[in-house]
Structure 1
């Protein structure tokens, strides 16, 4: 127990910032430094670590849990809307190097990598770039952020929510030949900050609708704080409009076999209309050492999915060749 009576695993026992190109990256850790390291990659892009609920998930006597706010959001500085001149450098490749900067800063050789939603895309991209650093991978609400997935979540899913999508598309002010997501990305990164603010509000409204099939989510504003809303909307549209800055439309899927030998767990809700289960299913077909868990009554995450994620981390940690504290 800590001095204020809160369980140690409920608060970070350590936190700080580490320098990266054009950024100061915020990291925090909880649990046992001698334990099995577990990296948590948040969603978005731009959602940030938030209130740190992930810190309570893993056994603090067994695991050392590390979280980081991805560049441009959360406690990492500068926040993206205050640093538009460097927006072009906020890419998946930059985030992968940021993860390595944090790993080296903390003196970690290998870790279990976990991620949720966008965090699962980043986790897979990181593992493909640095497989020797990965003990295992556990993902929930699995995405690869390819063109097909982005077009579905910004246009195709409008077949389910036609009223909300019509408002979203109409508010995009897309130019002839411009995708809806490209219009939002252009406006939110543009010089007219009032226009950017209105675009972020429209984006927030749409996001709240298409995720509303999740059993624990109710339609309504995702962010009541205007700066948090802008951070999220600006980074999401930036990455989605650029196919997550991956080399090819199916880069992760076409290379996933390179992770054979690394245990992987793909956990996904059947009712996830924002990101249908076809994505983890395709990955599982080409990744020999992966396991696919479909949670029939949940959408984009939920308590059963979280429980499956925790069990996956435990299973990976009990595998051969992993040091136990």
Structure 2
């Protein structure tokens, strides 16, 4: 293992372009040991796409790691598409991936929106889930979504003022709606200046919160995205705003009310107490509804999956599961 505690980066040994209904094509990768414990990695966002970092939490000698770029995200096509792209479609896609790859059950690992999708998947297909490892779980309700875009908690007032300045004064009370409308625009003349401006403002705001209270400053990050990265961010935030406007289609009934249907499998939640994007109350609310789950606090990591404290916690949890079939306190079922 590297000094960071992560396993070395390794290329996937098989890649799939999986056609699913309504013209979407999913990019799916398999890495690690083909005979190992099967795990699926659900990325955040929505719309972010998978990252090699997410595979580096897994011991490649013990795990078969399946990474899926969700509809409209990453290298799935068409990138940034919102048509026929809802949570129900993603749940159907997970079923198709399992069937295509011959996986009866898998360990489901997700962070942020990926943790939310993991819970929805476990309620939708409980027989498919062997265990759940959830990092920085997100609750897609009006309160949490509104708090992010309006900074009602006053987490970074100077940074939010910069973020809000991208909108006319009369529209700053509905930043999500304003951003969603602008990101959905496809100018007839090909001028993408406004969507890029909006994506950059959103990215700067998100970065100011993601680094944690100790590392956060009122200044934006110095490494700005280049043109290609910015165009990818436009597509990412187009999908994300589409989901958040509809509270990810997980509010009727609310996600918390669906947790009673989850299987009683080993379940571990990892959450940083200074996460300012997905506040700690989200993890506590989920754990309160799942008596069989464990909640482990990780200090100082913010919302950053690569923070050494969070990376170490993820690696330790997955190493422990590979050895024992559970995450520490409860015996494997």
Offset from partner CA, 1:33-55 (integer Å, 9 cap, x none)? 221101111111122123x1222
Within 1, Cα distance between the matches of 2:213 and 2:10?
A: 26
Cα deviation, residue 124, structure 1: 0.9
Describe the shift of the 1:98–1:173 C-alpha distance in structure 2 as closer, same or farther (beyond 3 A).
farther
* Pair 1:319 & 2:322 matched: no
Q: Pick one of 90, 93, 100 that aligns with 1:95.
A: 90
**Equivalent position of 1:259 in the other structure:** 262
* Pair 1:150 & 2:151 matched: no
**Secondary structure at the counterpart of residue 138 of structure 2:** coil
Matches within 5 A, 1:9-24: 10-21=10-21, 22-24=23-25
Offset from partner CA, 1:229-254 (integer Å, 9 cap, x none)? 21222122121121012243x62111
Compare 133-142 and 146-155 and name the one that shifted more: 146-155
**Normalising by structure 1, what TM-score?**
0.87
- Does the aligned pair in 2 maintain the 1:157–1:273 contact within 8 Å? no
Describe the shift of the 1:223–1:144 C-alpha distance in structure 2 as closer, same or farther (beyond 3 A).
farther
Cα deviation, residue 100, structure 1: 1.6
Q: Pick one of 279, 284, 294 that aligns with 1:281.
A: 284
Q: Pick one of 165, 172, 186 that aligns with 2:167.
A: 172
Structure 2's unaligned 5+ residue stretches are 1-6
Describe the shift of the 1:215–1:65 C-alpha distance in structure 2 as closer, same or farther (beyond 3 A).
farther
Within 2, Cα distance between the matches of 1:127 and 1:120?
A: 11
**Equivalent position of 1:140 in the other structure:** 135
Describe the shift of the 1:29–1:157 C-alpha distance in structure 2 as closer, same or farther (beyond 3 A).
farther
Matched pairs, number: 310
Cα deviation, residue 212, structure 1: 3.1
**Secondary structure at the counterpart of residue 300 of structure 2:** coil
Describe the shift of the 1:175–1:266 C-alpha distance in structure 2 as closer, same or farther (beyond 3 A).
same
Describe the shift of the 1:216–1:104 C-alpha distance in structure 2 as closer, same or farther (beyond 3 A).
farther
**Equivalent position of 1:304 in the other structure:** 309
Within 2, Cα distance between the matches of 1:122 and 1:143?
A: 9
Within 2, Cα distance between the matches of 1:198 and 1:145?
A: 25
Within 1, Cα distance between the matches of 2:62 and 2:271?
A: 26
Within 2, Cα distance between the matches of 1:266 and 1:24?
A: 31
**Secondary structure at the counterpart of residue 171 of structure 1:** coil
Describe the shift of the 1:98–1:217 C-alpha distance in structure 2 as closer, same or farther (beyond 3 A).
farther
Cα deviation, residue 56, structure 1: 2.6
Structure 1's unaligned 5+ residue stretches are 1-6
